[in-house]
Amino acid sequence: MGNISLNFDKTLGFVSNETISSFKDELQKHNEALHNKTGKGNDFLGWVNLPSSIEDTFLADVEASVEKIKNKNIDIFVVVGIGGSYLGAKAVIDALSDNFSQFKNNGNPHVIFAGQNISEDYLYELRELLKNREYAMTVISKSGTTTEPALAFRALKQDIEEKYGKEEAAERIIAVTDAERGALRELATKEGYKTYVIPDDVGGRFSVLTPVGLVAIGMAGFNIREFVKGAQDMEVATAPNVPFEENLAAQYAAVRNALYNDGKSIEILVNYNPKLHYIAEWWKQLYGESEGKEGKGIFPAAVDFSSDLHSMGQYIQEGERKLFETVISVDKVDREIIIEEDADNLDKLNYLAGKRVDHVNKMAELGTTIAHVDGGVPNMQIQLPQINEYYLGQLLYFFEKACGLSGYVLDVNPFDQPGVEAYKKNMFALLEKPGFEEETKAIKARI
Ligand code: PA5
């Protein structure tokens, strides 16, 4: 089936091959540390061998749960979750879906999201929408205590129980949470929801290959077995026994760190296909939360080209020279449009007649890459043969593996996120949550 590939030729005018290769031995040690669970954050390394440990019976169970809910003839499936309990499913579903899927019926429910913000308008409008629809939902929270999804689920649970009755509502809710701990586990047990477990040793942003991602991806009609297969193949392709010269994850980690040491502290993930927008959002969380600590870390940014060439293109071409780009380049698109001859040719586009729109997109990509490299922005390319379940499985596992390696090169613990607590503490203090009395007093004195 082939593999995704990495091309970093267009970084070599900025950092040398020798500099990149100088990370080789260190990366070998880090890769072994990931697999042997001897590095920093080693209680959160369940994702490393996760693809190969996924059993057929588990996949069959997820498929059966999906079928059972689909048989209720729902048109909407709501996924309640935030951060790592949201972005993976959103990224994969968007990448695989028709751009206008919300206006079309392909026989599968529309998967929509809740609890990923605290917008009152969003929740109100969602509840209004659901009043006249047939729906079911999954609520996902590893900790089971995250405010955003808990708040949304409290309202949506009331609505679904009102609409279908408590017993039928329980048949329409799947809870994905910790095996034992947390408020959501307690609630799911009390209400008798079908539940799936997020393994203890898999952090949120590394959880797309657990039920966190798989339930929603399956519900949207996509092949979770192919997705897992892609990840399994990439697990093998990036294992410690694969030499640096063939190991994409090690190479990506090496190039990023070589560029970072050379002052390139912002990485922009670029796509030329709007379906990949949320892959970049998922990637931003993965790298931002894993590397951004102890005053260190490459800042992960993203653009959708060519749209953003008309907004961000100027800065990338001529702004501060701290940037490098990583392009997710898709070889084969799914559809075909040939540009037609026009008798009047007022738009002067006849020179393109007979060519595909994708050809124009690819020339935009090539032209932009060359321009940005000329402007001082090193460029890497991740080549995706096609956007399908299999290659997305490869891509997401590749990014996870490279992230673990890259974080170890930076000498941080890539698997914690202590900084996320600061806003929560202030929010709870301002909301006067019981137990936060001291913090409330302190923060009120500052405002
Ligand atoms: O990566 C992470 O750990 C976070 O982004 C979490 O996924 C996010 O905060 C949601 O947490 P939870 O699943 O516990 O509700």
Is 2's pLDDT higher than 90? no
Across 88-224, where does the E strand assignment appear? 110-114, 135-141, 173-177, 194-197
Q: Where are the domains of the chain?
A: 5-40+230-418, 50-227, 419-440+443-447
- The protein residue with its alpha carbon nearest to ligand 1, atom 3, reads 204
pLDDT in tens, 6-55: 999 999 999 999 999 999 999 999 999 999 999 999 999 999 999 999 99
Rounded-to-integer distance, Cα 235 and Cα 31, Å: 12
Is 347's pLDDT higher than 90? yes
- The protein residue with its alpha carbon nearest to ligand 1, atom 2, reads 204
Is 409's pLDDT higher than 80? yes
Whole-number Å distance, alpha carbon 295 to ligand 1 midpoint, is 22
- Cβ(145)–Cβ(183) below 8 Å: yes
Return the best residue to mutate from 142, 281, 427 for the ligand 1 pocket (most ligand atoms within 8 A of CB): 142
pLDDT in tens, 259-285: 999 999 999 999 999 999 999 999 999
Kindly state the helix (H) or strand (E) to which residue 326 belongs, with its residue range.
strand 323-332
Quick one: pLDDT band at residue 145, thresholds 50, 70, 90?
confident
β-sheet bridge partners, residue 383: 5, 329
According to CATH, the topology of domain 50-227 is Rossmann fold (3.40.50)
Q: What is the pLDDT of residue 144?
A: 84
Whole-number Å distance, alpha carbon 159 to ligand 1 midpoint, is 25
Closest atom of ligand 1 to CA, residue 420: 9
Rounded-to-integer distance, Cα 421 and Cα 427, Å: 10
Backbone angles phi, psi at 436, to 5 degrees: -110, 25
Around ligand 1, the residues with Cβ closer than 6 Å are: 82-85, 141-143, 146, 149, 203-205, 289, 417
Is 119's pLDDT higher than 90? yes
pLDDT in tens, 154-182: 999 999 999 999 999 999 999 999 998 88
- Cβ(33)–Cβ(407) below 8 Å: no
- Cβ(29)–Cβ(186) below 8 Å: no
- The protein residue with its alpha carbon nearest to ligand 1, atom 8, reads 83
| Token pair 């047939």 in the structure block, residue | 134
Q: What is the pLDDT of residue 173?
A: 98
Closest atom of ligand 1 to CA, residue 86: 7
Return the best residue to mutate from 146, 289, 413 for the ligand 1 pocket (most ligand atoms within 8 A of CB): 146
Under CATH, which number does the domain 5-40+230-418 receive?
A: 3.40.50.10490
Whole-number Å distance, alpha carbon 54 to ligand 1 midpoint, is 22
Rounded-to-integer distance, Cα 219 and Cα 87, Å: 16
**Average pLDDT score, the chain:** 97
Q: What is the pLDDT of residue 321?
A: 97
Provide the percentage of residues in the chain whose pLDDT is more than 90.
96
Provide the percentage of residues in the chain whose pLDDT is more than 70.
100
Q: What is the dihedral of CA 171, 177, 182, 188, to 10 degrees?
A: 10
Closest atom of ligand 1 to CA, residue 149: 15
- β-pair type (266-271, 323-332): parallel
Strand, coil or helix: 76: strand
Residue 233 CB neighbours (<10 A): 20
**50-227 shares the fold of 5-40+230-418:** yes
Q: What is the pLDDT of residue 316?
A: 98
| Token pair 């586990």 in the structure block, residue | 185
- The protein residue with its alpha carbon nearest to ligand 1, atom 12, reads 141
Quick one: pLDDT band at residue 372, thresholds 50, 70, 90?
very high
Whole-number Å distance, alpha carbon 85 to ligand 1 midpoint, is 6
Rounded-to-integer distance, Cα 162 and Cα 253, Å: 51
Q: What are the catalytic residues? A: 289, 310, 424
Is 1's pLDDT higher than 80? no
User: Could you please report the per-residue DSSP string of 36-48?
Assistant: HT-STTGGG-TTT
Closest atom of ligand 1 to CA, residue 198: 13
Return the best residue to mutate from 82, 118, 184, 415 for the ligand 1 pocket (most ligand atoms within 8 A of CB): 82
Q: What is the pLDDT of residue 143?
A: 86
Strand, coil or helix: 141: strand
- Rounded mean pLDDT, 121-141: 98
